């Protein structure tokens, strides 16, 4: 209508009216073309854990639907093989070493909610960029990028200080001890055995005394029993306090549940995501759903327990898929599906760590290694899916290298936000590649770090599409073929537990995606050229790294009582203000 009025040649159309019209139409156009952004991130999900990525025994119909209606990224690379650095890179579009979120020690993730380090305030997340463009931004789920700096509630690293308007979730990560007492790792492994042994000894002693087999005086028997009971009480209290300290749920700046209740956490996460979409359906929104699934201990609700072919892990994957389905259904119901850029990925690969002779983590498909290793594909090659119906071709596959860091400039572009010019952004705006208007990814070299140590580099040759991987350092694996690091949950990055390769190991990832047969100057005539090109790229890359305060060094990553978030009177941190109960 406005357009008709204007074209109708209204001679009395004053410059002011014209200006107002232009401003209005611009506002209208930009606002209309800004898609919603829905980002879904699994925790520790392997490349081979989804139906659409070739798994024929796990049921993930909702994520498969996303792939069918969108584009599948088969070479989607995480900047690190562990949560804290990988998520930092995802949110900032920069290698974590640039923000001090790459560790120099063996503890390469935030070790608890009561430690100083975290995502520095002068880093800019894509949420901040989108917020500045009028988006309503929400984070639901896991954070794991720090919380406090100086007191138990200054929240200096909180999501609300990093571009999010709304936050609901666990500021730390899921741990075994967040489970109920029956299945906590503490009970099954460390503390409990002692408790059971002590209890058994006490019982034997008492029975022995009663039936006259033990000649100790009653006084002494009572004294021993008392000590034993105190020991058991101490252990249980220790577990309960530890659980409440490390497992908690925030809504914005308020702790609403401590310890978090896993029994209905999945339902509450879905409810929060659905309600965020419904509250914000009229204006552009960014919603980042960061699942606690499928991190060990893989707690599933009754609906999914024992229903998959792959034990507790499979149940958990299928439950997460169901959660994804509920969120997608909300987009459908509100008519937002075509106006929403939807993305699914995982932060890093499945863990290869064996517990009690069994691998509890995800399946990284044909790729070697997994979580916490520096360069092997299994830890950094993520299932990636993007759907934007009508814009991005449905049911397509993109084999070009892309990075989780690309989401930063890509969503900034969609929102019309300029990316910061005062720093290096390592991610690339991939919108042209996704829309199919260009065929080649701009990524030529990608660097694979283990903490602050560069372990490997990938070279995607622009001219011929060749794909090389050069490893300088690899973790020492168990000789049993399980691809598990030697006796450690997290693989070390340097020292005696890794192997330094000189000449480096070279693999042709197109011919040998499993990195099983290293090439030699005889088997690969260009061996020396490739190695020296990679070397050159590494040197150039390293020149762009400037020293920054490390957020994961020992003092920054050590628990401090005064930083412990606590709903109650420290050390007794218990509360439940959660109103969504199921």
**CB nearer ligand NAG, residue 263 or residue 334:** 334
Instruction: Report the nearest approach of ligand NAG to the CB of residue 457 (Å).
Output: 24
Looking at the Cβ atoms of 35 and 138, the one nearer to ligand NAG is 35
Please compute Rg for the chain using Cα positions. Answer: 26
Taking contact as CB under 6 A, which single stretch among the options 117-125, 257-265, 277-285, 550-558 is the one that binds ligand NAG? 117-125
Q: Which of 313, 343, 445, 507 binds ligand NAG (CB under 6 A)?
A: 313
81 counts as binding ligand NAG under rule CB under 6 A: no
Residue 362 in tokens: 């995800």
Residue nearer to ligand NAG on the CB measure, 310 or 326: 310
Asked if 105 and 390 count as a contact pair (C-beta separation under 8 A), the reply is: no
Shortest distance in whole angstroms from residue 576 CB to ligand NAG: 33
- The region of 120-128, 156-164, 534-542, 573-581 touching ligand NAG under the rule CB under 6 A is 120-128
Cis peptide before 259 (omega within 30 of 0): yes
To ligand NAG, the closest distance from the beta carbon of 122 in angstroms equals 4
User: In terms of Cα–Cα distance, which of 78, 75, 71, 77 is closest to 52?
Assistant: 71
State the nearest-atom distance from the C-beta of 97 to ligand NAG, in Å.
12
Q: What is the DSSP string of 323-381?
A: HHHHHHHHHHHTT-GGGEEEEEEESS-----EETTEE-S---TT----TT-SS-HHHHE
Which residues carry out catalysis? Answer: 83, 144
What the block records as the tokens of 526 is 């260009």
Q: Is 134 in the site for ligand NAG (CB under 6 A)?
A: no
Residue from 107, 161, 271, 310 that binds ligand NAG (CB under 6 A)?
310
Minimum distance of ligand NAG from residue 133's CB (angstroms): 20
Q: Which stretch binds ligand NAG (CB under 6 A): 10-18, 116-124, 156-164, 550-558?
A: 116-124
3-class DSSP state for residue 60?
coil
Near ligand NAG in 16-75, by CB under 6 A: 48-49, 54-58
Site for ligand NAG in 532-561 (CB under 6 A): 548-549
Instruction: By CB under 6 A, name the one of 61, 297, 325, 389 that touches ligand NAG.
Output: 389
Minimum distance of ligand NAG from residue 211's CB (angstroms): 52
Question: CA–CA separation, 493 vs 108, rounded Å?
Answer: 10
- Is 261 one of the binding residues for ligand NAG (CB under 6 A)? no
Residue 169's nearest CA partner among 254, 89, 296, 63 is 254
Please give the Cα distance from 414 to 225 (Å, whole number).
68
Contact 105, 117 (CB under 8 A): no
| Angle at the Cα of 37 from the Cα atoms of 278 and 406, rounded to 5 degrees | 160
Q: Which of 107, 161, 413, 423 binds ligand NAG (CB under 6 A)?
A: 423
Binding-site string for ligand NAG from residue 368 to residue 387, where x marks contact by CB under 6 A and - marks none: --------------------
Residue span binding ligand NAG (CB under 6 A) among the ranges 12-20, 222-230, 309-317, 466-474: 309-317
- In the complex, least distance from residue 135 CB atom to ligand NAG, rounded to whole angstroms: 22
Residue span 324-363 as binding mask against ligand NAG, x where in contact by CB under 6 A, dash where not: --------------x-----------------------xx
310/440 with CB nearer ligand NAG: 310
The residue range among 20-28, 60-68, 118-126, 155-163 that interacts with ligand NAG, by the rule CB under 6 A, is 118-126
Question: Residue 545, Cα to own-chain centre: how many angstroms?
Answer: 24
Q: Least distance from C-beta 57 to ligand NAG, angstroms? A: 5
Cα 181 to Cα 184: distance, rounded to the nearest angstrom: 5
Task: List, as one string, the DSSP characters of 368-419.
Answer: ---TT-SS-HHHHEEEEEEE-TTTSPTTEEE-S-EEGGGHHHHHHHHHTPPP
- Answer left, alpha or beta for residue 140, where phi above 0 means left and psi between -120 and 50 means alpha: beta
Token pair for 329: 């259904």
Quote the CA–CA distance of 139 and 143 in Å, as a whole number: 8
Q: Which of 122, 215, 502, 539 binds ligand NAG (CB under 6 A)?
A: 122
For ligand NAG, the closer CB: 55 or 290: 55
Q: Check residue 120 for interaction with ligand NAG (CB under 6 A).
A: yes
Strands 249-251 and 467-475: unpaired
| Smallest gap from residue 265 Cβ to ligand NAG (A) | 21
- Between CA 379 and CA 85 the distance in angstroms is 13
Q: Which two tokens stand for residue 61?
A: 């119909």
Among 15, 212, 357, 390, binds ligand NAG (CB under 6 A): 390
Q: Does 421 bind ligand NAG (CB under 6 A)?
A: no
Rounded to the nearest 10 degrees, the angle between the axes of helix 218-246 and helix 191-210 is 160
| Positions that interact with ligand NAG (CB under 6 A) | 48-49, 54-58, 120, 122-123, 310, 313-314, 338, 362-363, 389-390, 423, 548-549
């Amino acid at each position: 209508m406005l357009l008709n009025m204007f074209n109708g040649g209204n001679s009395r159309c004053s410059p002011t009216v014209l200006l107002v019209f232009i401003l209005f139409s611009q506002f209208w156009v930009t606002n209309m073309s800004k898609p919603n952004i829905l980002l879904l991130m699994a925790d520790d999900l392997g490349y081979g854990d989804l139906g659409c990525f070739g798994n024929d025994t796990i049921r993930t119909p909702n994520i498969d639907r996303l792939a069918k209606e969108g584009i599948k990224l088969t070479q989607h690379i995480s900047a690190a093989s562990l949560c804290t650095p990988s998520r930092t890179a995802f949110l900032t579009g920069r290698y974590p070493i640039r923000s001090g979120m790459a560790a120099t020690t063996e503890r390469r993730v935030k070790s608890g909610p009561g430690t100083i380090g975290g995502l520095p305030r002068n880093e800019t997340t894509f949420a901040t960029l989108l917020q500045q463009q009028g988006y309503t931004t929400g984070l639901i789920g896991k954070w794991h990028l720090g919380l406090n700096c100086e007191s138990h509630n200054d929240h200096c690293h909180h999501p609300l200080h990093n571009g999010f308007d709304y936050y609901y979730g666990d500021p730390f990560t899921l741990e075994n001890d967040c489970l109920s007492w029956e299945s906590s790792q503490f009970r099954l492994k460390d503390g409990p055995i002692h408790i059971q042994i002590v209890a058994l000894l006490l019982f034997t002693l008492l029975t022995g005394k009663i039936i006259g087999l033990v000649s100790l005086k009653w006084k002494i028997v009572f004294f021993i029993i008392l000590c034993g009971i105190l020991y058991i009480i101490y252990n249980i209290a220790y577990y309960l306090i530890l659980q409440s300290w490390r497992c908690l749920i925030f809504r914005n700046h308020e702790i609403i549940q401590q310890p978090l209740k896993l029994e209905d956490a999945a339902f509450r996460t879905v409810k929060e995501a659905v309600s965020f979409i419904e509250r914000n359906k009229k204006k552009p929104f960014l919603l980042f759903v960061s699942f606690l699934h499928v991190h060990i201990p893989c707690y599933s609700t009754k609906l999914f327990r024992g229903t998959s072919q792959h034990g507790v892990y499979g149940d958990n994957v299928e439950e997460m898929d169901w959660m994804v389905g509920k969120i997608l259904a909300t987009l459908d119901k509100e008519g937002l599906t075509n106006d929403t850029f939807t993305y699914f990925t995982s932060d890093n690969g499945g863990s290869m760590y064996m517990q009690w002779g069994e691998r509890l983590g995800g399946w990284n498909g044909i790729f070697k290694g997994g979580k916490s290793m520096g360069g092997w594909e299994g830890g950094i090659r993520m299932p990636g899916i993007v759907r934007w119906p009508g814009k991005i071709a449905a049911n397509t596959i993109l084999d070009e290298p892309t990075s989780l860091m690309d989401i930063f400039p890509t969503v900034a572009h969609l929102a019309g936000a300029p990316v910061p010019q005062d720093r290096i952004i390592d991610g690339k705006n991939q919108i042209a590649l996704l829309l199919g208007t260009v065929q080649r990814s701009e990524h030529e070299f990608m660097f694979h770090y283990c903490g602050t140590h560069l372990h490997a580099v990938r070279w995607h040759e622009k001219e011929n599409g060749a794909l090389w991987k050069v490893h300088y350092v690899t973790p020492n694996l168990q000789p049993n073929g399980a691809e598990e690091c030697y006796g450690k949950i997290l693989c070390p990055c340097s020292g005696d537990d890794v192997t330094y390769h000189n000449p480096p190991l070279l693999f042709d990832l197109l011919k040998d995606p499993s990195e099983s047969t290293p090439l030699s100057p005889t088997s690969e005539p260009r061996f020396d050229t490739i190695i020296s090109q990679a070397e050159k790229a590494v040197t150039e890359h390293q020149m762009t790294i400037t020293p920054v305060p490390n957020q994961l060094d020992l003092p920054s990553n050590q628990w401090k009582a005064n930083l412990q978030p606590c709903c109650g009177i420290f050390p007794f941190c218990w509360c439940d203000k959660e109103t969504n109960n199921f």
